[in-house]
Amino acid sequence: MTIFADLGLSPKVLSAVEDAGYSTPTPIQAGAIPPALERKDILGIAQTGTGKTAGFVLPMLTLLENGRARARMPRTLILEPTRELAAQVAENFDKYGKNHKLNVALLIGGVSFEDQNRKLERGADVLIATPGRLLDHFERGKLLMSAVEIFVIDEADRMLDMGFIPDIERIAKLIPFTRQTLFFSATMPKEIQGLADQFLQNPVRVEVAPPSSTAKTVTQRLVASHAKDYEKRAKLREIIESQTNIQNAIIFCNRKKDVATLFRSLDRHGFSAGALHGDMDQRSRMTMLHNFKENNIKFLVASDVAARGLDIPAVSHVFNYDIPIHAEDYVHRIGRTGRAGREGAAFTLVCKSDRKYLDAIEKLIDQPIEWLDGDLNALPAAADSNEREDNRRGSKNKSRNRKSGSSDVHNETVEKANESSDEKAEVMNAAKKEDRRENRNKRGNNRQPANDDNRSRRNRREDRDDGPTPVGFGDDIPAFMLIAAKA
């Protein structure tokens, strides 16, 4: 059996790994660390939750023990697709690099440029960044990348989904060609394979699981649900309450708006819940993650910002409130549970209109997913095809109907208006002429104060409102609506 001591890591790193409670490397770690220590390029493919982060952090710490960084010239660069992943990698360097005196700089959005500039001025042995903020610093002249020795691209498929590939290609041109490149991804679509061929030189391919596979330690179930929001929320609560062994759970939604709505619903029903999505400021996002990791909240309602790479070992369940549109996201979502050999469970709510997304997921993972309590055919008869449209328009229609009365009253009013259109037009024209005549007389009467004139106008308006509340436009139907329709 392979142990960390057999991989060639330095004594300082081995001591930190032992203090962290680890003795046996995961397959991706055992396969990637030795060639990384030999300064070879690595193409690592493994399902999420298998320890890819330590697979590049540990050899980097060993290689960085010799040498020192200069101001604004980092020695290594790690690119991450999200702020949370970047912050998590920084935590790994703090944990495993506690015996080293390395400067680690974290460049992410939502944090002051000045604080980040001060870290760069001191010299960064390790620079962890999201592509956008990294290029911001470079364009401001605060960063030079001509001294980068090791270049790490983590969660490459997520980079592709988020549109970071042009930025990565630009960054790669700023780094010396002689660099060592470590390329990690959980899935390997054709676009990512082409990117790997572009960046890597004779890489060692470390593939410990088929691309886009799911961990066998995760029990997966599908739950049939109607599409109406209140019914989906009720179904979710029913499934949650049926699970007696929930320690922590992440609930995924496709839209940020639904994250907020579902969070409020769970909170109203007495669940210990928090929310996490991309529109939150960085301080709120990090605070929410910290509270979830510390078990201060039990359920985290999140968008896909929490689907990639977040290492929260205690998560026992994942609930997909919305089935992911991109099949690869399903692999990453359920990978938040069942990590490091632990048992986990994942439940996905499926509506009839989600059939194509479910088919794509089962095709990607190359296995069928079992249904809980019957498939979609077991749902009570309902107009599911129209339910989503009803959700969008239902509340608006109800409000409109309450204000305007029943459709019969409305139709009767329109018919009466058509029958007496000529008569009403004559009355309205006469009233307008009389109003104009009175106004001219009042303006010409200098003996009447202006405030009396205003009071008179108000009185006339109030007099016209003394009668019963009109239906629709009442007698004040605009003239253009009184024109008879052509046969």
3-state secondary structure of 301: strand
Confirm whether 400 is domain-assigned: no
pLDDT score at 168: 93
Average confidence (pLDDT) over 397-409 = 45
pLDDT at 388 over 50: no
Confirm whether 450 is domain-assigned: no
Q: Which of the listed residues 207, 239, 269 is the one where a domain comes to its end?
A: 207
The verdict on 61 and 169 lying in the same domain is: yes
The residues pairing with 73 across neighbouring beta strands, listed in sequence order, are: 70
Q: Which domain holds residue 411?
A: 405-437+472-487
Average confidence (pLDDT) over 177-195 = 88
Q: What is the distance between the alpha carbons of residues 39 and 241, in angstroms, rounded to a whole number?
A: 51
On whether the CB atoms of residues 34 and 122 are closer than 8 A, the answer is no
The verdict on 376 and 433 lying in the same domain is: no
pLDDT score at 274: 94
The verdict on 235 and 256 lying in the same domain is: yes
The verdict on 100 and 125 lying in the same domain is: yes
More confident residue, 382 or 48: 48
Average confidence (pLDDT) over 103-108 = 95
Confirm whether 372 is domain-assigned: yes
The verdict on 416 and 288 lying in the same domain is: no
The verdict on 178 and 255 lying in the same domain is: no
pTM of the model: 0.63
DSSP 146: T
pLDDT at 485 over 80: no
pLDDT at 77 over 60: yes
Q: What is the distance between the alpha carbons of residues 270 and 184, in angstroms, rounded to a whole number?
A: 40
The verdict on 239 and 379 lying in the same domain is: yes
Domains in the chain: how many in total?
3
pLDDT score at 463: 39
Largest CA distance in the chain: 109
Q: Give the CATH number of the domain where residue 13 resides.
A: 3.40.50.300
Confirm whether 282 is domain-assigned: yes
What proportion of the chain, given as a percentage, has pLDDT over 90? 50
The verdict on 278 and 367 lying in the same domain is: yes
Confirm whether 462 is domain-assigned: no
The verdict on 372 and 426 lying in the same domain is: no
The verdict on 254 and 353 lying in the same domain is: yes
Between the alpha carbon of residue 339 and those of residues 30, 57, 212, 248, 255, the distances in Å are 17, 18, 16, 13, 26
The verdict on 246 and 388 lying in the same domain is: yes
Confirm whether 98 is domain-assigned: yes
Minimum mean pLDDT range among 135-139, 181-185, 236-240, 286-290: 286-290
Average confidence (pLDDT) over 409-436 = 46
**Cα angle for residues 169, 171, 172 (degrees, 5° grid):** 65
The verdict on 277 and 425 lying in the same domain is: no
